[in-house]
Structure 1
Amino acid sequence: MEPQLLCCEGDRPARAYRDSNLLTDRVLRALLRAEDKYLPAPNYFKCVQREIAPYMRRIVATWVLEVCEEQKCEEEVFPLAMNYMDRFLSVEPTKKSHLQLLGAACMFLASKLKETIPLTAEKLCIYTDNSITPTQLLQMELLVLNKLKWDLASVTPLDFIDHFLSQLPVRRETRPILRKHAQTFVALCATDVKFIASPPSMVAAGSMVAAVEGLQMKMLGNAMMSQKLTEQLAQTIKSDPDCLRACQEQIESLLETSLRQAQQQHSVTMETKNISEGQDLSTTPTDVRDINI
């Protein structure tokens, strides 16, 4: 009989189990007190940035998200990287030609904070089609750290998801899919400038309600009314139910728009593939070179 390993080996590093002791009211109150400290300025496009427009941020955000997905990063990396980027852009005027470099640096820092094996500078440079060098990336990393005053422990919407999930009367086996859908909504919100000024707790609560409604979850054998869930989460985050409902509607609208754009992009991609068959095409996620024009 061949000996068997007691450990479970795989491609991804093993992660610790979620600690239920961290899902207490005391921890939740601490998160709610701290979240405003890490909010970026909602009007930085008008007051700070002269060259950068919201659509440029969306292009870079999409690129960062695709890199994180392709590299199978932890789910916290993307929203954390976007928080760093928005906070940096809130205080430092930046050239549009440096926006992808900034996105790479923020992703680099977030990966170091959340990953067991973080992304390397060389790999991130490859994802930019080598338009930046490792030296430039490290220099931008130091600049970001300086402007953020080395305070990287940002509160993001994902910090609230498990707290909200623990309050819902859902069966244990249905929690993973509900969490996954809520995390998807959180990532989607991080790509859109409309949610820059929204507190992380609001985005998380709106994402949770949208996930429950989208999946038509059954709570303890009965359908949980959307109004009841909204009021419960609004009370938890000390917000007005109407504000939370408006946030949820924005999230659902954003999802519809993204799905429509994805279908259009798929059609264009298939046509391009047919036309360019046999040609050498770049495989770098999301072409961001147009923001340099």
Structure 2
Amino acid sequence: MELLCLEMDTSIRARPDPNLLRDDRVLQRLLTIEERFLPQYSYFKGVQKDIQPFMRRMVATWMLEVCEEQKCEEEVFPLAINYLDRFLAMVPIKKCNLQLLGAVCMFLASKLKETRPLTAEKLCIYTDNSIRPQELLEWELVVLGKLKWNLAAVTPNDFIEHIVRRLPLADDKLVLIRKHVQTFIALCATDFRFAMYPPSMIATGSVGAAICGLQLDSADQSWGDSLTDQLAKITNTEVDVLKECQEQIERVLESSLREGPQRGPSGKGLDELDQASTPTDVRDVNL
């Protein structure tokens, strides 16, 4: 009898451990260390001379589209943006190298979060072969050195389950809520105004925006305290600060919907690509 090793095409992910999610010590530890992984100030004011905020937005949008088209895990894009911001806060670069840096950050984040990471060759194709694989690998070592190999950063995605499982939400609504929350988090990652916000605040504001957008807070009579008060207690956030964050997230969504899709990851217009089924599509979110 022949022994055959059959590998499945789909990756199997471990399910969230309810014991960890119910343990307040885990959440408190995340809240304690999250600010270690934030840029300490706006690098456009002190470090970067050749790069403007709109350039960062363009490369972040490109990174998001690449991650969506490659069906990366939801954690890959926010983590890659974290690497990008931390590197830019330390090292001045030329604008011609910004897309290369974005590709390197996706390369590293996918290695950490994916069972089948993005390849250097594939990422070079997404830059229309404007960079070479060897160049990407050389920059990988530079980025690792500047980040001191500290890649296990806390991102807003790390807080999603801790937050939603502490709210009186019906199980049948959780999948939709998570999808909307991940969309908001991705939108925040493309906007530099959120770069120095604590990940817990972005996650909490995104959960609030998702629930309000789906009108679950008005449909469910079991909330007790208001939704914002409950969210603020979970992550030790001031209510007024959380409200402002949530409102800002909603404004970013409205702005994205007005602007509409523009360019695709491989240089094509998004109207030429089928993006409607991607997991982080703002057209799926209705406020």
Determine if the TM-score, normalized by the shorter chain, exceeds 0.5.
yes
Instruction: State the partner residue of 2:57.
Output: 58
| TM-score normalised according to structure 2 size | 0.87
* Residue 129 in structure 1 maps to residue 112 in structure 2: no
User: 1:42 Cα deviation (Å)?
Assistant: 3.1
* Identity over aligned pairs, percent: 59
Aligned to 1:111: 110
Which moved further from structure 2: 95-104 or 170-179? Answer: 170-179
**Which stretches of structure 1, 4 residues or more, deviate above 4 A after TM superposition?**
218-221
Alignment partner of 2:226: what SS?
helix
Give me the whole-angstrom Cα distance separating, in 1, the residues matched to 2:265 and 2:152: 35
Contact 1:42 1:196 in 2 (8 A): no
Partners of 1:148 and 1:89 in 2: CA distance: 11
Verify the 8 A CA contact 2:76 2:113 in the aligned structure 1.
yes
1:251 maps to which residue?
A: 249
Shift of 1:21: 1.9
Q: Which of structures 1 and 2 has the bigger CA Rg?
A: 1
Q: Relative to structure 1, is the Cα distance of residues 282 and 234 closer, same or farther in structure 2, using a 3 angstrom cutoff? A: closer
Structure 2, unmatched stretches of 5+, are 1-5, 271-287
Matched, 1:284 2:267: yes
- 1:229 lines up with 2:212 in the alignment: no
Following the alignment from structure 1 to structure 2, what is the Cα–Cα distance between the partners of residues 218 and 89? 39
Report the alpha carbon displacement of residue 113 of structure 1 after superposing the two structures with TM. 0.1
**Against the structure 1 CA distance between its residues 285 and 120, is the aligned structure 2 distance closer, same or farther, given a 3 Å change threshold?**
farther
Report if aligned partners of 1:42, 1:197 keep a CA contact under 8 Å in 2: yes
Give 1:11 shift: 3.9
Match of 1:272 in 2: none
Partner of 1:30: 29
Maintained 8 Å contact 2:126/2:265 = no
Matches within 5 A, 1:150-169: 150-169=149-168
**Distance of 2:258 and 2:219 partners within structure 1:** 34
The number of residues matched between the two structures is 264
What letter corresponds to residue 196 of structure 2 in structure 1? Answer: A
Using the alignment, how far apart are the partners of 1:33 and 1:85 within structure 2?
22
**Structure 1 residues 218 and 249 mapped into 2: Cα distance closer, same or farther (>3 Å)?**
closer
CA distance 1:285–1:206, shift in 2 (3 Å): farther
* Residue pair 1:44, 1:89 contacting (<8 A) in 2 also: yes
Supply the distance in 2 between the matched residues of 1:286 and 1:221 (Cα, whole angstroms).
Answer: 41
| 1:88 and 2:87 correspond | yes
CA 1:84–1:177 in structure 2 vs 1: closer, same or farther (change >3 Å)? Answer: same
CA RMSD of aligned residues (A): 2.2
Normalised TM-score (structure 1): 0.85
